[in-house]
Amino acid sequence: CVKKYLSEEGSEVPEFEKAVKDELVDEPAFQRCRSTLNSASKLDSL
């Protein structure tokens, strides 16, 4: 998840974004990934 996000593969494809938002938002693994990415961006901004 993190590697895919950081490489931005497919992130500019609207269908990919819609699939992620619609299908994965309730998945525990996706929530952990999002939490990890949010924490990393907070650390970078310090």
Asked if the structure places residue 16 within a domain, the reply is yes
Domain enclosing residue 25, as ranges: 12-44
Asked if the structure places residue 30 within a domain, the reply is yes
Number of separate domains in the chain:
1
Task: Compute the CA torsion angle 43, 37, 29, 19 (nearest 10 deg).
Answer: 160
pLDDT at 37: 81
pLDDT at 39: 81
Asked if the structure places residue 26 within a domain, the reply is yes
29 compared with 12, residue with greater pLDDT: 29
Q: Which residues contact 29 (CB under 8 A, 6 or more apart)?
A: 1
pLDDT at 34: 79
pLDDT in tens, 25-41: 677 887 888 788 888 76
pLDDT at 6: 57
